[in-house]
Amino acid sequence: MHIVGVILMLVGVYGLLTNRHIIKMIIAINILEIGLNLFIISVGYSEGLIAPIITDINKNASNFADPLPQALVLTAIVIGVGTTAILLAVARKLYQQYGTFDIREMEGGR
Amino acid sequence: MKKLTAIILVSILFVLLFINMFNGSLNFDKISERDADGNYYTEQPTSANMVTSVVVDYRSFDTLGEVTVLFVSSLGVAFVLGGLTTRVKSNHSQSFILKVGVDVLFSLIILVGAYIFIHGHLTPGGGFPGGALIGAALLLKYVSNDTYRANIKGFKALEGTMGSIYVLLGLLGIVTGSFFLENILDIGTIGNLISGGLIPIIYVLIGLKVGSELTGIFDHFMNEEV
């Protein structure tokens, strides 16, 4: 799962480098973010660990997965939602002003 | 040519990451220290869902900051799209069946959201997913009905009240002689609905706050210039 996370991150970087369409760039940022979240989650997990929730069955178990990366990713997801909302709002404002989503056409009004 | 350069750059990045991460010199099994029993922390967990313990108890200050970030982003959206006042009209005619179906589903989705954030300390989920569900219910209303406007002033008031109560609960910890956002209430039996001290209360506050913030964001996106 580490590798899937890293590959998703690199797909996001590639999308950011090649796309000139604002909505596509926002999608690339989100893919990058999902890859990073997946990577952090997979860091806290290895084979045979169980979800870190205490129930009657596993009261005395000691093979819980590490809850700290999951808590950090919860924070990261929420902040990702906030940044995506702002980015989309700015993209909409830019579209109103220039009538295009392509950043090459925005430069210098050509 | 640009794409080729990008591919080359990304592959170089991949090789560098791969060499550093997967040659065995970094041991990811030790991201958190374990104690002698093999548990991750020496403190007793304060709720059945340990992630909730971390998010709302040990790192509650962090969560206060996180809620603030969401609030600031909602403010930012309001700032950028604030000049738009008229409701967006969709190009196609509104389906009657969709409208009635959403009316039926609306209360059920709100109910599921409330269930998720009330049981945040027992089951997976919590204030943020529950709040997102409430926001999604209102988004469905917006999408299905061209003339629908949520009571945004009410949601703003709810959001502000919830944030203030969160801070006041934190200050209560200082008043009683311990730290900011210390879990001052009795923890009770882990696994009961009423347990975990402040955790369920704070998660209900967070759920309502996130739900109203997301509704505010959706409302701003659903507006357009005259």
According to the model, what pLDDT value does residue B5 have? Answer: 87
Complex confidence, ipTM:
0.85
Count of C-beta atoms within a 10 Å radius of residue A13:
20
Nearest by CB to B38, from A7, A43, A62: name it.
Answer: A62
B18/A85 Cβ within 8 A: no
Q: Which of A19-23, A33-37, B183-187, B216-220 has the lowest mean pLDDT?
A: B183-187
User: Is the CB of B90 inside 8 Å of chain A's CB atoms?
Assistant: no
Short-list A2, A94, A77, A102, CA closest to A43: A2
Whether the pLDDT of residue B41 is over 60: the answer is: no
Domain map (residue ranges) of chain A? 2-45+64-109
B73/A6 Cβ within 8 A: no
pLDDT tens per residue across span B118-152: 998 888 888 899 999 999 999 999 888 888 888 88
Q: Which residue has the tokens 């009961």?
A: B192
Q: What is the domain class of A2-45+64-109 according to CATH?
A: mainly alpha
Number of inter-chain CB pairs under 8 A, A vs B: 126
User: Is the CB of B174 inside 8 Å of chain A's CB atoms?
Assistant: no
Tokens standing for residue B65:
């900051």
* Average pLDDT taken over every residue of chain B: 84
Across A1-10, A46-55, A69-78, B188-197, which has the greatest mean pLDDT?
A: A69-78
B81/A13 Cβ within 8 A: no
B217/A85 Cβ within 8 A: yes
Q: Show residues of chain A in contact with B18, CB under 8 Å.
A: 6
Confidence class of residue B43 from pLDDT cuts 50, 70 and 90? low
User: Is the CB of B217 inside 8 Å of chain A's CB atoms?
Assistant: yes
Whether the pLDDT of residue A78 is over 50: the answer is: yes
Q: Show residues of chain B in contact with A22, CB under 8 Å.
A: none
The mean per-residue pLDDT over the stretch B27-38 comes to 58
Domain map (residue ranges) of chain B? 2-34+41-224
| Four-residue CA torsion sign, B112, B44, B202, B33 | negative
Return the higher-pLDDT residue of B146 and A59. Answer: B146
Portion 176-215 of B in contact with A at CB < 8 A: 190-191, 210, 214
Whether the pLDDT of residue B15 is over 50: the answer is: yes
Cα-based torsion angle of the residue sequence B121, B209, B168, A73 in order, rounded to the nearest 10 degrees? 50
Q: How far apart are CA B107 and CA B221, in angstroms?
A: 23
Q: Show residues of chain B in contact with A53, CB under 8 Å.
A: 48-50, 122-124
Whether the pLDDT of residue B108 is over 90: the answer is: yes
B50/A67 Cβ within 8 A: yes
Whether the pLDDT of residue A97 is over 80: the answer is: yes
A13/B40 Cβ within 8 A: no
According to the model, what pLDDT value does residue A76 have? Answer: 92
According to the model, what pLDDT value does residue B27 have? Answer: 58
In DSSP notation, B150-216 reads --HHHHHHHHHHHHHHHHHHHHHHHHTTS-TT---S---STTSSS-STTHHHHHHHHHHHHHHHHHH
A17/B10 Cβ within 8 A: yes
- Does the pTM surpass 0.90? The reply is no
Strand partners, A50: A64
Q: Show residues of chain A in contact with B37, CB under 8 Å.
A: 62
Cα-based torsion angle of the residue sequence A25, A27, A30, A36 in order, rounded to the nearest 10 degrees? -80
Nearest by CB to A66, from B31, B45, B123: name it.
Answer: B31
Confidence class of residue A110 from pLDDT cuts 50, 70 and 90? very low
